[in-house]
């Protein structure tokens, strides 16, 4: 049994509201012929506020890739351990009981990965395996859950720690003024999430089946251009329509497991934007309310990339609506265009 336990979440202290974002866009991009379209898109994201690791004034000052890399490292080392300790406590495990750490981030780069620092600083065993995931973007959270499931299938007594650390504000590029870039400036936020997949029975999502699916020939729809100034996010206007070709992959996995994807008890979905959730509701024939956890993440934090699915799952834990035996789906979507999909049954041994 591999049980995905309650995630721990942290968002940084600096906040920017959607109104402040719109005012900022009007001021910084006055005269941009695409500004009105970008403002309409930002208004309809459903995002009310986002959290940042720096005040917005500092975010807007691009100090260069080297300075941003230094900040990424210092902020991740300052903020990640507390989240990890909470995730371990919620899984009732100690650092030495973890056999693999999966570290997910698409908004900064370190070599060695932060996993090495965590092992040295937090009491993990020296033989703890490390799996950094850097290039799956927002799909990285779902991929981490799937790779943890795979590891626990191969090693049935193993426990896996997942850490998603996303400081999307460090990817802001003041010279990128296309509609996709302006929209992303009003959509993405910063956040950290951690969760344990444990071998022993516990409360959470007992993982049963997973899969990946890539829409052919869409690898340039979501991408980074890596330049001397850092990561330049590139978003194709066709991305919001990707749920039509992806929803059959979700349906097919459920059918392979003899489940009906339209009749599941819970859905934990990456909230890249409101249309993703609206379309998935339509194509999977499930009520919009089924995605309430994902919508709440989007509203309160914006798109926090790979951390979204873990935050949405934590919200379901907090609501307390999942009952022993409930069947559910977790899915993350990102560059490729890639879907990482999990099926599992809610288990609550104490109920």
Give pTM, 2 decimals: 0.94
| Residues 101, 124 contacting (CB under 8 angstroms) | yes
What region does 263 belong to: left with phi over 0, alpha with psi -120 to 50, or beta?
Answer: alpha
Pair 134, 260 in one domain: no
> Whose CA is closest to 205, among 246, 248, 133, 149?
149
Instruction: Tell me which of 152, 169, 198 is where a domain ends.
Output: 198
Averaged pLDDT, 146-164: 97
- Gap between the Cα atoms of 293 and 232, Å rounded: 29
Place of tokens 């009749």: 263
Do 40 and 103 belong to one domain? Answer: yes
pLDDT for 218 beyond 90: yes
* pLDDT of amino acid 126: 97
Report pLDDT digits (tens) over 327-341: 999 999 999 899 999
Q: Do 119 and 174 have their domain in common?
A: yes
pLDDT band of 58, cuts 50, 70, 90: very high
Domain boundary among 180, 198, 216: 198
Do residues 244 and 290 both lie within one domain? yes
Q: What percent of the chain has pLDDT over 90?
A: 76
Mean pLDDT of all residues in 140-146: 97
Burial class (CB in 10 A: 0-12, 13-18, 19+), 275: middle
Pick from 48, 56, 53: which is nearest to 274 by CA?
48
Tokens 């080392």 belong to which residue? 77
* Residue 9 sits in the same domain as residue 148: yes
pLDDT tier, 30 (very low <50, low <70, confident <90, very high otherwise) = confident
What confidence category does residue 18 fall into, taking pLDDT thresholds of 50, 70 and 90?
very high
Average of per-residue pLDDT values in the chain: 93
CATH of the domain at 86: 3.40.47.10
Tokens matching residue 209 = 């089946």
Residue 163 pLDDT exceeds 80: yes
Least confident of 25-29, 124-128, 323-327: 25-29
Which whole number is the average pLDDT over 11-30?
Answer: 92
Q: Are residues 159 and 10 in the same domain?
A: yes
pLDDT at residue 273, rounded to an integer:
84
Same domain, 190 and 220: no
| Interatomic CA distance for residues 162 and 148, integer angstroms | 8
The pLDDT-based confidence of 272 (bands split at 50, 70, 90) is confident
**Same domain (yes/no): 278, 171:** no
Quick one: 106 and 61 in the same domain? yes
Q: Are residues 310 and 253 in the same domain?
A: yes
| Active site members | 138
Q: Half-sphere exposure of 172 toward its Cβ, with a 13 Å CA cutoff?
A: 22
Question: Which two structure tokens, joined as six digits, stand for 234?
Answer: 């590139």
Q: Are residues 64 and 169 in the same domain?
A: yes
- What is residue 280's predicted lDDT score, i.e. its pLDDT? 93
**Residues 87 and 140 occupy one common structural domain:** yes
Range in 40-49, 50-59, 82-91, 320-329 the model is least confident about? 40-49
pLDDT at 155 over 70: yes
pLDDT of residue 100: 98
pLDDT greater than 80 at residue 111? yes
Percent of the chain with pLDDT over 70: 99
Mean pLDDT, residues 84-110 taken together: 97
Give the chain's domain count: 2
232, pLDDT greater than 90 = no
Provide the pLDDT confidence category of residue 350 given band limits of 50, 70 and 90.
low
Domain that includes residue 102, residue range:
3-198
pLDDT at residue 192 in the model: 98
Using 50, 70 and 90 to split pLDDT, how confident is the model at 235? confident
Write down which residue in 174, 198, 222 finishes a domain. Answer: 198
pLDDT of residue 161: 98
Q: Which residue has the higher pLDDT, 235 or 56?
A: 56
């Amino acid at each position: 049994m591999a049980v995905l336990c309650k995630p721990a979440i942290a968002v940084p202290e600096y906040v920017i509201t959607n109104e402040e974002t719109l005012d900022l866009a009007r001021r910084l991009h006055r005269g941009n012929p695409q500004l009105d379209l970008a403002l309409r898109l930002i208004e309809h994201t459903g995002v009310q506020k986002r959290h940042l690791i720096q005040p917005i004034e500092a975010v807007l000052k691009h100090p260069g890739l080297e300075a941003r890399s230094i900040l990424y490292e210092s902020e991740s080392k300052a903020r990640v351990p507390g989240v990890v300790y909470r995730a371990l406590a919620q899984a009732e495990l100690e650092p030495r009981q973890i056999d693999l750490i999966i570290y997910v981030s698409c908004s900064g780069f370190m070599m060695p990965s932060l996993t090495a620092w965590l092992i040295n600083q937090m009491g993990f065993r020296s033989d703890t395996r490390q799996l950094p995931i850097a290039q799956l973007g927002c799909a990285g959270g779902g991929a981490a859950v799937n790779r943890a499931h795979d590891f626990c299938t191969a090693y049935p007594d193993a426990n896996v720690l997942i850490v998603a650390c996303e400081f999307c504000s460090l990817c802001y590029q003041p010279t990128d003024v296309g509609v996709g870039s302006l929209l992303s400036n009003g959509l993405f936020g910063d956040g950290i999430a951690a969760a344990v997949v444990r071998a022993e029975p516990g409360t959470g999502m007992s993982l049963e089946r997973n899969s990946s699916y890539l829409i052919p020939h869409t690898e340039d729809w979501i991408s980074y251009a890596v330049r001397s100034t850092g990561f330049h996010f590139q978003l194709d206007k066709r991305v919001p329509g990707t749920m039509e070709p992806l929803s059959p992959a979700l349906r097919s996995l459920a059918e392979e497991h003899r489940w009906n994807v339209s009749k599941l008890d819970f859905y934990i979905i990456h909230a890249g934007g409101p249309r993703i959730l609206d379309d998935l509701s339509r194509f999977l024939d499930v009520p919009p309310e089924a995605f309430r956890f994902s919508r709440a993440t989007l509203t309160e934090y914006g798109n926090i990339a790979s951390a979204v699915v873990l935050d949405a799952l934590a919200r379901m834990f907090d609501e307390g609506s999942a009952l022993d035996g409930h069947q559910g789906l977790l899915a993350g979507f990102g560059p490729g265009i890639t879907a990482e999909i999990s099926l599992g049954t809610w288990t609550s041994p104490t109920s």
